[in-house]
Amino acid sequence: MKRFLFTIITVWAAVSALLIPQVFINSTFITHKLDELLHLRVDPAFSGGREIAHLLDPGGDDCGEGGFTYPRHEMYAGKGGVLDLVAYSVYAPQTSARWSDLPDYQQIRLTFSRSGADAENPAGFSCPVINIYLDVDGEKSGKTETAFPRAELVSFDPKHPWDFLIRIYGPDESALILSADGGYREKIPVFKNSEKNTLAVRIPLEYSGLK
């Protein structure tokens, strides 16, 4: 009887060792099949809202006016493309978002050719400094010169002066939004995805000037 029980336990252990890993291996397959059957989808509001504009930019043009190159220091070796913007997306405003630290916000997402992620910087985006200028009221107010005119070498049409600047510094976990008149200045969240080479920022809408 003891030998019989020992044999059953041994067989059960062997079968379990073979079957249990297969269950885990096939769990993703089962989940995907259930999604297809039930048509499960994540509500866009959980990832920043519904995309309302998606603009593409040609790749391989990260050379400024044509003659700029990446720094020659070894830390930049093999990082070509980390300053190459290839897409710009705008999402519908979100209000009373219970899943977000910002209840009212609007999201902007940037996509680059590469993120620059490596062992020392797994989150990526160690290089870009990104300035996004917003004109929210037409020609009523704002500035035509950029915040750093000698560095950016551009200016705005007098009919479309900028009212707010979003300043994103790649390595930081937050960005900064400030008004042209200096009366508003606030840190805002940044969401990075080095696998998809994307970087998203959320604009708080509780400030009346941004609505």
Quote the number of domains for the chain.
Answer: 2
Considering the domain architecture, whether residues 15 and 75 belong to the same structural domain is answered as no
Give yes or no: residues 34 and 124 share one domain.
no
State whether 104 and 12 are in the same domain. Answer: no
Full residue range of the structural domain in which residue 2 is found: 1-41
Residue 109 CB partners (closer than 8 Å, separation 6+) = 48, 87, 88, 89, 91, 198, 199, 200, 201
What does the alpha-carbon distance between residue 117 and residue 192 come to, in Å, rounded to a whole number? 11
Please, which residues bridge with residue 202 across strands? 107
pLDDT, residue 150, reads: 86
On whether both 106 and 21 belong to a single domain, the answer is no
Return the residue matching tokens 């009221």.
137
pLDDT tens digits along 17-32: 444 444 443 445 555 5
Could you tell me if 104 and 58 lie in one domain?
A: yes
pLDDT given for residue 123 in this prediction:
62
Where does the chain have alpha helices with state H? 2-38, 149-152
d(C-alpha 203, C-alpha 102), whole Å: 9
Torsion of CA 150, 152, 158, 159, to 10 degrees: -170
pLDDT tens per residue, range 145-155? 999 888 888 88
The answer on 85 and 32 residing in a single domain is: no
Say if residue 95's pLDDT is above 60: yes
Question: What's the rounded Cα separation, in Å, for the pair 104 and 108?
Answer: 14
